[in-house]
Structure 1
Amino acid sequence: MSSTSNEVAILNAVQSGIGSHPTVISAARGMSHFGEHALGWIALAGIGAAVDKDRRREWAGVAVGAVGAHAASIVIKRVVRRPRPNDPSVAINVSTPSKLSFPSSHATSTTAAAVLMGRLTGLPLPALLVPPMLLSRVVLGVHYPTDVLAGSALGAASAAAVLAAEKKFGDRPR
């Protein structure tokens, strides 16, 4: 069995289990729209910057991290050119702006934003936000499991880059 066949089998298992419930599909679609082009994360970062003026620079870092992670994923998608799942057994439950699958941009921007917002709020946001977003992409049938895992790893690396930049440049006068 090929790796793609294994991943289709996982997609089928998820879709026939948790992904067979209309409420789950509806929630996954909502998450998809929120995460499209990292716009939901940018909006939350903007709200954070407006409300938490003392840490405005760090909230801007959340937006930069989410957008940077999203941009990196788009570049990698165009290099790798892996098509989205296209097996007759996989239900596609949401439209996508691209036919390219690897890595998941939703997983990438969500992980970056969750890590950076978690650091600001003190909440375990990566544990709370990342797994549902990754699972939603599989429920919707628009990503293979390795797409979301690679996207999450790229998002974590993007967040680490933002944190390193903040550490290096953070003590400068505002």
Structure 2
Amino acid sequence: MQLRLTRKLISAVLLSSCMVTSTAFAAEPDTGLSSAEQGNYLLELKRLYLTENDRQALLAHCNDLLKTYALRAAYQVGQAQRQDLLYQLRQGESGELLLREETRSQQGTDIAVRNQRVPLFGVDPFVRYECPSSGISCVLHNPNDGSPMLTIVRDHKGSAELAKALSFLIRNLQKG
């Protein structure tokens, strides 16, 4: 239910963003698509999350996407050790992102929490992801070293939206 609602919400945001981008781009042919796209994207997120702060809107959107596309034990049919993987992002020190990973067993009795600091100064803000056709999950890679950072349920559109939101969040956090 939440997945379907989030997909509809993302589609509405992207559609309105594309419409605004195309009219703004037609009115000012000299502006770069990247900055216009980012501005429209952030405007829509601020409206959606009822805030005036870009960073708060991006963090809220990333965390909502992480909840929606969380790799749950129910998706892992046929796996030996099924578990929930839940993530949460927070702002750390200046130019730093805090990532909380919670792993729960299928019965919910065993819980492991891992916190990771992701330094962002001097890194390429573009977040890469992979969704192997043979697997049940997509992996988003750490922009520092390319190591796996997040594992979510296999959904190309969801992974692309999360990677985009994370990329904009990283750019925002790099400003300090």
TM-score, structure 1 normalization: 0.32
- Specify which structure has the higher proportion of helix: 1
Q: Which protein has greater RCO, CA pairs closer than 8 Å, 6+ apart?
A: 1
TM-score, structure 2 normalization: 0.31
